[in-house]
Amino acid sequence: MEESRQLTTGRNYALLVCTLASFLTPFMGSSINLAIPTIGAEFHAEALSLNWVVSAFLLTSAAFLLPLGRLADLYGRKKMFLGGLAGYTLFSLLSALAPTLPFLIVTRALHGISCAMIFSTAVAILISTFPAHSRGRVLGINAAAVYAGLSAGPFLGGIITHYLGWRFLFGANALVGLFTLAVAGAKLEGEWVGVRDERFDWAGSLLSVLSLAAVIYGASTFSLGAFTKGLFFAGLAGILLFAWQESRAPFPLLNVRLFKGNPAFTFSNLAALINYSATYAVGYLLSLYLQIAKGLDAQTAGLILLIQPVVQVLISPIAGQLSDRVEPRIVASTGMGLTSLGLLVLSTLSLQSPLLLVAAILLLLGVGFALFSSPNTNAVMSSAPKAYYGVASSILGTMRLLGQAFSMAIVTVMFNLYFRGIQISPQNADLLVKSMSLSFIAFTVFSVGGIFASLARGQIHH
């Protein structure tokens, strides 16, 4: 009885620290966007340099996910998780004390690596700690924490930056990170190691880091010229070379056997890539629409856009728990169907569309995203061998970040068709609506394809 109580307490502490960590990383990512103008004013920086405050974080967090997930499987997920929290706390503090913009960009890049250490292990620790019949529930709670961070970031980040300054924003994150690290260090018991007798694939790691960085940076800057387009396609070629190299490596960074004969793992990751490709840019496009086409101020537009993540926070734990009882492919595919419907309706928005319609679509998308996300994560992790939980979590994170980059690349291409050097302003709001409509049609097609990928994964529960 006492042993059972201690086991339950240990699991609850694991859920607490992983939930806090899963809140912190998206909160920092979304809140810093509100502080960019203030940072630029203090350092007298131009727009291109300021972009690196955000881009440096995204690039390193995406590029290092796979190698760090593999290292966690080899040498310990708890060690990697604690190292990530320590780095997150340290680099938050150094960012708060940054004397120059280049210093801040470097600390943000190191921040991204620290967050990749957390991304690649938090879900793996939860899966390793909780029994199979309750994984959906805890993954739903974890997903709710991510959405809570995304939704609270712009709101709290704006308030903190306005009243206390951008440095306090980093300082507050350092304090919460320190608290999470202290609890994790004291209460996370044991260690989770997937494989002990294999070597680390340094060649594959270097190739994957460079290729993913090239793809993500090239996709996000696709419209800037021939160099960034070439970088994007070189990154894609690098990914193909990486896949070939991994199929021949004795101890690969990415074990291709995770995909061979495992349709649940393969199609769940493909569904995640498609889902994020179809949905990530929705908030960006609607933010422009509400402010440029509908004439709302940033605060009012932000409050309307909060509808979607708030619904996700509320529904995600329910969706995760449902996927413990019902096949994840059914729950996730239903979510993709609702998302497809919402995207299709978004493609019909005009300058005269009522705000109530936008709010209703955001509510529908929030339900769709929630029904997809945690059940899909449950399917990915439940179909992965225990020894590769860290790598499986990292692959899923990579699918998310690649999807986000592709989503913004699609928007960039559509905007280039209509604006071609013209500034986005209320005077050409009609061009904005046309480019939005074309983007949402493309996203709808993607999302419908994602339904078939989601359904093709097969049975998870046996």
DSSP 60-90: HHHHTHHHHHHHHHHH-HHHHHHHHHHHHHH
d(CA 254, CA 258): 8
Same domain, 285 and 380: yes
Longest Cα separation, the chain: 70
Same domain, 325 and 420: yes
* CA distances, 236 to each of 58, 60, 231, 293 (Å): 18, 17, 9, 36
Say if residue 194's pLDDT is above 80. Answer: no
**Structure tokens that stand for 151 in this block:** 């939704």
Q: What is the mean pLDDT of the chain?
A: 80
> What is the phi-psi region of residue 193: left when phi exceeds 0, alpha when psi lies from -120 to 50, beta otherwise?
beta
Contact indicator for 157, 31 with CB cutoff of 8 Å: yes
pTM across the whole model: 0.75
Residue 194 forms part of a structural domain: no
Count the neighbouring beta carbons within 10 Å of the beta carbon of residue 232: 21
Same domain, 325 and 383: yes
d(CA 252, CA 295): 53
Q: How confident is the model at residue 364 (pLDDT cuts 50, 70, 90)?
A: very high
d(CA 190, CA 462): 29
Terminal alpha carbon distance of the chain: 29
Same domain, 178 and 58: yes
Closest CA to 121 of 169, 78, 157, 163: 78
For residue 199, the SS3 value is coil
**Structure tokens that stand for 166 in this block:** 């951008």
Same domain, 240 and 308: no
d(CA 62, CA 399): 9
Q: What size, in residues, is the chain?
A: 462
Same domain, 222 and 246: yes
Specify the CATH number for the domain of residue 439: 1.20.1250.20
Same domain, 134 and 214: no
Same domain, 328 and 407: yes
**Structure tokens that stand for 83 in this block:** 């190292």
Q: How confident is the model at residue 223 (pLDDT cuts 50, 70, 90)?
A: low
d(CA 83, CA 77): 10
The answer to whether the Cα torsion of 134, 137, 139, 141 is positive or negative is negative
Residue 240 forms part of a structural domain: yes
Say if residue 1's pLDDT is above 70. Answer: no
Closest CA to 77 of 180, 192, 181: 192
Same domain, 153 and 274: no
Same domain, 231 and 314: no
Residue 196 forms part of a structural domain: no
Please count the structural domains in the chain. 3
pLDDT tens readout for residues 253-285? 777 777 777 788 888 888 888 888 888 788 778
The residues, any chain, with a CB within 8 Å of residue 150's CB and separated by 6 or more, are 26, 27, 29, 30, 309
Q: How confident is the model at residue 459 (pLDDT cuts 50, 70, 90)?
A: low
pLDDT tens readout for residues 374-402? 788 878 877 777 777 767 777 887 788 77
Same domain, 387 and 273: yes
Q: How confident is the model at residue 248 (pLDDT cuts 50, 70, 90)?
A: confident
Radius of gyration (C-alpha) of the chain in whole angstroms: 21
d(CA 246, CA 258): 12
The region of weakest confidence among 49-53, 204-208, 302-306, 319-323 is 49-53
Residue 193 forms part of a structural domain: no
Closest CA to 262 of 5, 56, 458, 24: 458
- Domain with 159, as residue range(s), is 1-186
The residues, any chain, with a CB within 8 Å of residue 172's CB and separated by 6 or more, are 160
Q: How confident is the model at residue 35 (pLDDT cuts 50, 70, 90)?
A: confident
Residue 191 forms part of a structural domain: no
